[in-house]
Each structure stands twice: as C-alpha cells, then as structure tokens.
Chains A and B, each alone.
Chain A
Amino acid sequence: MFFHSEMSDMVPLLMGLSFLTLLHGVVRWWMDMVFESTFKGQYTSFVILNIRWGFKLFVLSEVFFFFSFFWAWFYAGIGEISVKLMGKWPPVGVKAIYPWRIPFLNLLLLVTSGAFSQSSKWAVKCHSKELDVKMGRYYQLAALGLLLVSIILGTLFLYVQSQEYYWCSYSISDGVFGCSFYMLTGFHGMHVMAGLIFLVVCWFRILLFHFSYRHTCVGLLNAVYYWHFVDIIWIFLYFLVYLWPHKLLTGTWLWTF
C-alpha cells in the first residue's frame, strides 16, 4: 500500500496540497456567489427562491446520511445480535455516559444557540428593511451581538464534546456500540463545525453591511436553517444515543424504557 511504501513520506504533502486545492475551490465558489448577489445584484427573488429550496433539498440529503448511521445504531441495538445473543444494550463491559450532565449541557447549548441565531435572523430582516440609517445600524449591532452569542455557544459545544470524547471510557474500537456512537456523534460534530464556519462567514458579512438596505439575507437564512438542522440531529442523538443506553445500564430492553 501507498502508505507503507517508499513514497509514504510524500503522503502528508500530497494530502495537504489536495486539501488546499479543495479549500481554494470551495472558497472561490462561495466568493463568486457573494459577488454575484451582493455586489452585482444579480439574484432576483426568483433565483433566491430556488437557492433556498435547493439548500433545503441538500439538508434533506444530509438527513438521510444520518438516517443510515441511525439505522446502524438501531440494527445493533435492537437487532438480532443484541437481543438474541447478548440481550444487553450497551453490550456488557461498556459503561454508557450519564446523560444528564455533559450531554444535557450540550443539548441546552445547542438549543439556546439555535434560539439566538433565529433572533439574529429577525434582526437582520429588520436591518435590511430599515430605511433610517441610525435604526438600521442599531438592528445591525443587535444582529451581530445575537449571532456572536450563537457562535460562542456553538464553539462551547464543540469544546465540551471534545472533552467528553477525551474522558469517555470507551473508544471507537470498542465494538459496534463504540463505533456507532462515535460515527454518529463524530459526524454530528463535523456538521457543527461546518455550520459554525457558515455562521462566522455570515457574521462578517453582516459586519460588512452585505445584508443591508433591501438585500435579501439568503446566506444567513441558509446558515440558520443548517444550524437548526444540526440542532435537531443533536436532539435525536440525545434521546436515542445517550438517554436510551443509559436506561439500559441495568440490562432491561427497549420497550421497558
């Protein structure tokens, strides 16, 4: 294999180069979109409708991506091997995380973050409709503050989750419980990171008045929609991945939840 051959020293370099190329392409793509919308004004209401619904369809595809991992979780949890052969979920030897401390804190963090991002969306809408410059500026500052809180809460979520990963008693290699748990929460964390980057970019765009004076804030609308999606996935994760196994620490089955 390449990674074990004589050329393996080049692997980090090649990975870095391709990652940078990808990053460049991604940044230029969305930069082009910002130029076309904010600076050239080419996004009619028709185009904006298409972009909003297109983004919702993209989020639908992400929902089904998580669906496949939840399928794996349930297949292992209530499927043949758990019930017929082991009868215990989590499997014997795996200590489930107590859900009412860190995971619950994360739930509160994300839900509050979602609420703050929603409010910043309303503030930006007022900011873009407002003709009086002073009031418009006031709405802009409110939006910036609310969105900043939302971003900070999201970053806090990532920090807390990383701590939980560090201190967790089981790893990704610990059987199907460990791998399903980490794949689900890990992909969720990756989506949180992507959503945060999106929100940060929107924050700077609000700062630079991209959404002012009748410009539709479709970028922010999509970012907040994505953030709500990430939040809802966490709610599902909390109930199905944290609460459910904990109840079964004693080894009782799903339907005695």
Chain B
Amino acid sequence: MIYGVGVKNKLVNLNSKISSFSVDAGTSYLRTGGPSFKSWVHRWLFSTNHKDIGTLYFIFSIWAGLMGTAFSVIIRMELAMPGKMLDDGQLYNLVVTAHGLVMIFFLVMPMMIGGFGNWLIPLMLKMPDMAFPRMNNLSFWLLPVSMLLLLGSAYVDGGAGTGWTVYPPLSSIGFHSGCAVDYVIFSLHVGGVSSILASINFVITTSLMRTGVMLILRSSMLAWCLGVTGFLLIVAMPVLAGGLTMLLSDRHFNTTFFDPMGLGDPILFIHLFWFFGHPEVYILILPAFGIISHVVKAGSSKLELFGKVPMLHAVTSIGFLGFIVWGHHMFTVGMNVDSRAYFSTVTFIIAIPTGVKVFSWIATLAGGYIKNWPMMYWAGGFLFLFTLGGLTGIILASASLDVVLHDTYYVVAHFHYVLSMGAVFAMFAGFHFWYPLLTGVGMNPLWSKSQFFSMFLGVNSTFFPQHFLGMSGMPRRVQDYPDTMHGFNMFSSWGSTLSLVSLFLFLFILWESMLSKRCLIFPMVRCSESEWGARGFPRKFHNESQNPYGMSFEGKNFRRWGVLKPYKAKGH
C-alpha cells in the first residue's frame, strides 16, 4: 500500500466536511444543523449504517478480547507454579468460565461476524447496506447487555464456576445455590437473541440482496462463509436456548430435566449443549476461512482464488457435517459403542473438505508474487498452525484415543491451536489487510511484523507444551497439578506473558497509526477486490443507493440484470 504524509485535514476523503479524524457523518448533521449531542446519539446509538455498526462491533470485541486475555493470564499465573495462588477454588473456576465465554461470545463472534461481516459484505456484494439495518443495530446493542450480565454474575453469590459448558449438576441449584448461574444463563439468552437476529440479517443479505449478475457462485468467499455461518447460528443457537431454559427451570421451577431423582438425566444437557456447541465452533472458524481466502488471494497478487467453487462447496459441507458430529465431545459419558464409532467416522470425514480448503490456499500462493505485508505473515501462520490444530483434532476424533485424552490439556492444546492460532490469526490478518479501508490510515508494517513474531512465539510457547501435559494426564480446569508437570506449565505461563506483551505492542501500533495519520493513497490490490474499488479511504458513509447495473458474458450468452440471453451481434 502507498501512504501519504499525515496532514490535519483528510488527504484523500474529498467528501468529508469534517477536518477531524472521522468519516462523513451521514445525515445526522443535516437534521440537527451541526454537531450536537443529539446528532452523536443518532449516529452512534441509533445507527443504521453498516460501517458505523461494524466499527462499534470492532471496538467492543477488541475491548472484550483484552478482558478475555486478562482472564487467561490469571489462569496461567495460577498454573505457573505448583501450589495454589488464589485461595479460593471457586474464583479460579469462575475465571476459567469467564475466559471461555468472553473469548467466544464477545471477541471472536462479534469481531468476525459483526465487525468484518458488517463492514465488508455490503461492499463486496455491492449493496447499499445490510438487509435489515435497524435490526443490525439491535444485534449490536444487545451485546453490551449480555456482557454486563456475564460480568455481573461474577459479583453475586460467589460467581459461576461451572466452565463455559455449564453442565448440570454442578450448575444446578444444589451446587450453585446463588443467582450467579442465572445471570450467566440470561447473558447467553440475550447473546443468543443478538446472534440469531444478526444471522437472519446475514443470510438474507448474502442470499437475496445480490444484483442480477452477481450469481450466488460469484459471491466473495467471505460473503459465502458468513452466509453459511449465519445459517448454522439460526439452527444451532435456539437449541442452546432450549437447554439453558431447561437448566433455569430445573434450578427454580422444580422441574427435573437433569435430575435423576425425577427420572431426568444430566447427559441430556450434554447432548443439547454439544448439538449447539459443535456448530458453534464451526461458526467461530468459518468466517476465519473466508478472511484467509481473501488475504491469501490478495497477498499472492492473484486475480482469483484457486478452485473457488470447490472451496464454496467445501464450506457448505463443513457447515452441514458440523451438525451430525456433536457426539465426539461426549465419548466418555457412557455412550453406546456403535454411536461412538459413528461419531468418530463422521468427524474424520470433516477433515476432507477442510483439507480441500488448505490445499487450495496453498495452491493460490503457488506461482504468485507474495507481498511482504504483515497480513501475509499472519496468513502463513494460520495455514501452518491451524493445520497442526486440525491434526490434533483428528487424533481426538478417534473415540478410543479420546477416552484417554478427554478433559486433559491435550484437548485444551487442540482447541487453542485452532482458535487462538486459527481464528485469532485470521482476525489479525483481516485486521491488517482491511484496517486502511476502515480508517484510511496505515499501521507501521515493520512493527506489525515484529508483533507477529512476538505473538507467534508467545502463543506457541503457551500451547505447544500443553500437548505433552495432556498426554501425561494433566486434567483440564484444575487449580494445581503434580510437581512433575511443573516444567511444561512454567514454560506455558511464560508464553502467555509473552502473548500479553505482544498484545500491548499491538495496542501501541494501533494507537501510533491513529496519531501519525499516514493516509492511504493507492491500495495496491488488484481489481478483483471489490471492497477496495473506491476513490478514497475510509469509505464514504453511504454506498450507492441501489445495486449496480451489471452485464456479464458467459460463453455464447450474455447476462443482463441476471437474465441470460443468447448473444446476437447486431448489424452484420
């Protein structure tokens, strides 16, 4: 990218009426005759603009990510030395629970779906805005409510120390007799409503709002991935809501869904939770796949992704297969051996479309001019480390091996490889790629690359030793461990400190970029990235007010407005 020297007035956004670092405020100023409290409220509280709502999601998720990291550092501090650091085991369990819930529901999902999705889908598919702009805003503002409820749970009645999976009977009224678990349940209910509404928005936008010539197989990868993610959310989230409602009624309304005294069964909750939980982890990773597809394509200076249509089908099959594998989280509950064999088999099968995608990304890189941009470092890291995480997942998919490794640190290592190094690396890659689009300024590339190496070293140091800990039998969610496991735990905790410092470096880089205002002049990405096709960055407040007119030539036919016609040359 080519940047210009920072100036007080915006260098490139000729449409902006404001000289400070902000985009054109749309019609708010027109209605109120200038900047005022009312126009601020209209712009940021009552927004219906996909870019503003995307920005809100980014700010929220970055803040939540820092909070989740803080929780993880407390966990690693506890586990750095043998013996107890925190006197209270319940507090440790609470921190473990909060770490999981915050990272999943308030970092990864809002940033990928709300942040990247809201900003980029209308730009990539060339639409005025999302399908339901007002509902978009509602989906965002439900999230701070959900987070407040979750954080509130920590302050009441000893907190919820149940793990993010909230299994009864630990989460039932007998063992968590305060109202903390109820706060968690309500937090997940509100978050679920937010996600379902946002997903309806995304599925309708990506499937119904495209202009005629933008055929569904011509959608960008991110749009397709987010459409499939939205569908997964619509189907899976209500099942979690149902399970949580049953838990709530068990706790307060004398039902016995999960209590054997009334012929109930805690395993029912496990089934319901993981029927949601497995699609949930695909919801976390599919947008990352979309982001990486874009980053790899742009970073290899290619016009098209290798095998885009097979990639689209791979995403759809991963989404569909994700619904029928939930049992691989339950291999040790006493399931039928035939069921365990089935779940193992289907879990192995999911590796096939995932492999199609990884090989296609590598093939996209082949023969291209690989740009020396920070985003490519993150993308390369993703490709290698996500594959490693996937391989450990294959090991866990085997029911027999899982009986030994279930609820050990091997599982923790596996999902942190695919999440902390899969999803998070993809988020960093996308953030570094699209940051100039969002803000019009650039982050220092040299510092960004060093931050990558520092973070890479940090997360690998944190999670690689956990494979060995798991294989030697260290259980999950424990506050203390046998002294022989001290070495790897200490190494892992040093890694988490390094990751924390890398995050501080990232925050500094972010701050410096806003301070120095190296404005973007030439994006230097090829013409096949439609979100970059604009005359100035950050993008204007509004896009075109209608879908664009389009024509495409398809062999001997041409398509106009989406209607296919045979091509007849005139005048001959």
- In the complex the two chains form, what is the Cα distance from A29 to B204 in whole Å? 20
Check A76 for interface membership: any CB of B closer than 8 A: yes
**B263 and A67 form a contact (CB under 8 A):** no
| Residues of chain A within 8 A of B234, CB atoms compared | 57, 60-61, 64
- In the complex the two chains form, what is the Cα distance from A172 to B253 in whole Å? 8
**B249 and A183 form a contact (CB under 8 A):** yes
**B238 and A65 form a contact (CB under 8 A):** yes
| Residues of chain B within 8 A of A50, CB atoms compared | 131-132, 204, 208-209
Check A179 for interface membership: any CB of B closer than 8 A: yes
| Residues of chain B within 8 A of A49, CB atoms compared | 208
Check B239 for interface membership: any CB of A closer than 8 A: yes
- In the complex the two chains form, what is the Cα distance from A180 to B246 in whole Å? 9
- In the complex the two chains form, what is the Cα distance from A46 to B271 in whole Å? 40
- In the complex the two chains form, what is the Cα distance from A200 to B262 in whole Å? 40
**A173 and B254 form a contact (CB under 8 A):** yes
**A173 and B235 form a contact (CB under 8 A):** no
Pick from B235, B241, B242, B257: contact of A176, CB under 8 Å: B257
CB interface residues, B 236-286, toward A, < 8 Å: 236-239, 241-243, 245-246, 249, 253-257, 260, 262-265, 267-268, 271-272, 275
Which A residue's beta carbon lies closest to that of B241? A65
**B263 and A176 form a contact (CB under 8 A):** yes
**A176 and B238 form a contact (CB under 8 A):** no
Chain A proximity of B234: nearest CB distance (Å)? 5
Q: Known contacts being A61-B196, A76-B264, A81-B260, is A69 close to B242, with CB within 8 Å?
A: yes
| Residues of chain B within 8 A of A79, CB atoms compared | 265, 268
| Residues of chain B within 8 A of A53, CB atoms compared | 204, 207-208
| Residues of chain B within 8 A of A98, CB atoms compared | none
Chain A proximity of B301: nearest CB distance (Å)? 37
- In the complex the two chains form, what is the Cα distance from A70 to B257 in whole Å? 12
Which B residue's beta carbon lies closest to that of A62? B238
Pick from A1, A60, A72: contact of B257, CB under 8 Å: A72
**B256 and A72 form a contact (CB under 8 A):** no
Which A residue's beta carbon lies closest to that of B234? A61
- In the complex the two chains form, what is the Cα distance from A72 to B266 in whole Å? 11
Check B380 for interface membership: any CB of A closer than 8 A: no
Residue-by-residue, is A63-89 near B (CB-CB < 8 Å gives 1, otherwise 0)?
A: 011111101100110011110001000
- In the complex the two chains form, what is the Cα distance from A99 to B263 in whole Å? 24
**B242 and A175 form a contact (CB under 8 A):** no
Q: Known contacts being A53-B204, A58-B200, A183-B249, is A76 close to B235, with CB within 8 Å?
A: no
Check B178 for interface membership: any CB of A closer than 8 A: yes
**B209 and A177 form a contact (CB under 8 A):** no
Residue-by-residue, is B209-247 near A (CB-CB < 8 Å gives 1, otherwise 0)?
A: 100000000000000000000000011111101110110
Residue-by-residue, is A179-206 near B (CB-CB < 8 Å gives 1, otherwise 0)?
A: 1101100000000000000000000000
**B255 and A172 form a contact (CB under 8 A):** yes
**A1 and B178 form a contact (CB under 8 A):** yes
Q: Majority SS of interface residues in chain B?
A: helix
| Residues of chain B within 8 A of A57, CB atoms compared | 199-200, 203-204, 234
Which B residue's beta carbon lies closest to that of A89? B263
| Residues of chain A within 8 A of B235, CB atoms compared | 60-61, 64
**A65 and B242 form a contact (CB under 8 A):** yes
Check A145 for interface membership: any CB of B closer than 8 A: no
Residue-by-residue, is A149-184 near B (CB-CB < 8 Å gives 1, otherwise 0)?
A: 000000000000000000000001111111110110
Place the interface of chain B in its size category. 35 or more
**B246 and A72 form a contact (CB under 8 A):** yes
Check A91 for interface membership: any CB of B closer than 8 A: yes
| Residues of chain B within 8 A of A61, CB atoms compared | 196, 200, 234-235, 237-238
Which A residue's beta carbon lies closest to that of B245? A183
Check A54 for interface membership: any CB of B closer than 8 A: yes
Of A66, A71, A91, which is in contact with the most chain B CB atoms at under 10 Å from its CB? A71
Which A residue's beta carbon lies closest to that of B250? A179
Check B512 for interface membership: any CB of A closer than 8 A: no
| Residues of chain A within 8 A of B253, CB atoms compared | 172
Check A2 for interface membership: any CB of B closer than 8 A: yes
| Residues of chain B within 8 A of A80, CB atoms compared | 265, 267
CB interface residues, A 94-114, toward B, < 8 Å: none
| Residues of chain B within 8 A of A68, CB atoms compared | 238-239, 241-243, 246, 272, 275
CB interface residues, B 164-201, toward A, < 8 Å: 178-179, 196, 199-201
Pick from A58, A60, A71, A86: contact of B272, CB under 8 Å: A71
| Residues of chain A within 8 A of B544, CB atoms compared | none
**A177 and B263 form a contact (CB under 8 A):** yes
| Residues of chain B within 8 A of A182, CB atoms compared | 255
Check B157 for interface membership: any CB of A closer than 8 A: yes
Q: Known contacts being A64-B235, A76-B263, A82-B263, is A176 close to B204, with CB within 8 Å?
A: no
Chain A proximity of B322: nearest CB distance (Å)? 14
Chain B proximity of A41: nearest CB distance (Å)? 16
| Residues of chain B within 8 A of A2, CB atoms compared | 156, 179
Q: Known contacts being A86-B263, A172-B253, A175-B256, is A54 close to B271, with CB within 8 Å?
A: no
- In the complex the two chains form, what is the Cα distance from A76 to B275 in whole Å? 17
Residue-by-residue, is B312-323 near A (CB-CB < 8 Å gives 1, otherwise 0)?
A: 000000000000
**B268 and A179 form a contact (CB under 8 A):** no
Which B residue's beta carbon lies closest to that of A25? B138
| Residues of chain B within 8 A of A176, CB atoms compared | 256-257, 262-264
- In the complex the two chains form, what is the Cα distance from A67 to B236 in whole Å? 10
**B241 and A75 form a contact (CB under 8 A):** no
- In the complex the two chains form, what is the Cα distance from A60 to B235 in whole Å? 7
Chain A proximity of B272: nearest CB distance (Å)? 6
Chain A proximity of B546: nearest CB distance (Å)? 10
- In the complex the two chains form, what is the Cα distance from A216 to B249 in whole Å? 42
| Residues of chain A within 8 A of B156, CB atoms compared | 2
| Residues of chain A within 8 A of B236, CB atoms compared | 64
- In the complex the two chains form, what is the Cα distance from A60 to B196 in whole Å? 11
Pick from A29, A81, A183: contact of B263, CB under 8 Å: A81
- In the complex the two chains form, what is the Cα distance from A175 to B272 in whole Å? 19
The 7 closest A-B pairs by CB, nearest first: A68-B242, A179-B255, A65-B238, A173-B254, A64-B238, A175-B262, A68-B239
Question: Which B residues form the contact surface with A (CB < 8 A)?
Answer: 131-132, 134, 156-157, 178-179, 196, 199-201, 203-204, 207-209, 234-239, 241-243, 245-246, 249, 253-257, 260, 262-265, 267-268, 271-272, 275
15 A-B pairs besides A64-B234, A69-B246, A173-B255 with CB distance below 8 A are A1-B179, A50-B131, A50-B132, A61-B234, A61-B235, A61-B237, A68-B243, A68-B275, A71-B239, A71-B268, A71-B275, A75-B268, A75-B271, A79-B268, A175-B264
26 A-B contacts (beta carbon < 8 Å): A32-B134, A49-B208, A50-B132, A53-B207, A54-B131, A54-B132, A57-B204, A60-B234, A64-B236, A65-B242, A66-B242, A67-B238, A68-B238, A68-B241, A68-B246, A68-B275, A69-B242, A72-B257, A80-B265, A81-B263, A81-B264, A81-B265, A175-B262, A176-B263, A177-B263, A183-B249
